Structure 1
């Protein structure tokens, strides 16, 4: 495995949301826009959080996106535009080590990213 710091940084962006077709559509949109190379959906997850002065519990879905670190600001804007929540969870984690071939694939697949935060015309 190569140290990610020696290469163009990539990261994993995690988004949680409702268990609806919207999360699949968001995953497909970001892959089609080349903002991410891969989207991995994990369903179900059980979330417990404070909201509107109380504790809430929801069964949700988690989507993990693999992308270049430089694309995270645009991805955050796209998720906010596509997501139904007032405050969507969007977290980006650095990749500390990576299979060099996978790293190259992520970089190649996101090289022509649509960086317009409003999405394709």
Structure 2
């Protein structure tokens, strides 16, 4: 199954660094970066507000744990948001592309 992994990052530079690392390790086939989102969240008993970037990683299910481990290792946050989201339907050609580019099990 193909999955999307949604990761919030401190800024575009960090998102690019994580994407580059994951791509070089063949843990994913493609990444998208959405720059300058407004995030609001609870942190240490108060509401915080920050500008962040979102990294969307396109990969296969068997790589989720490896991606989470690597992101936690190199991310600047103590507790980064890393969400694996299953896909319901994907075009055959795009699925084949991702599976080909990821070092699948």
Structure 1 and Structure 2 fold alike (TM over 0.5): yes
| Stretches of structure 2 lacking an aligned partner (at least 5 in a row) | none
> What is the CA-CA distance between 1:28 and the residue it aligns to?
0.6
> What is the CA-CA distance between 1:44 and the residue it aligns to?
1.2
CA RMSD in angstroms, aligned pairs only: 1.2
User: What TM-score, normalized to structure 2?
Assistant: 0.95
Larger radius of gyration: 1
State the alpha-carbon separation in 1 of the partners of residues 14 and 21 from structure 2: 10
1:2-45: CA deviations, max 9, x gaps? xxxxxxx0100010011152221111110111101001000111
Alignment: residue pair count: 105
1:107 to 76, 80, 99: 99
| Stretches of structure 1 lacking an aligned partner (at least 5 in a row) | 1-8, 114-121
1:37-58: CA deviations, max 9, x gaps? 0010001111100001100000
- Structure 1 stretches of 4+ with a deviation exceeding 2 A read none
User: What TM-score, normalized to structure 1?
Assistant: 0.83
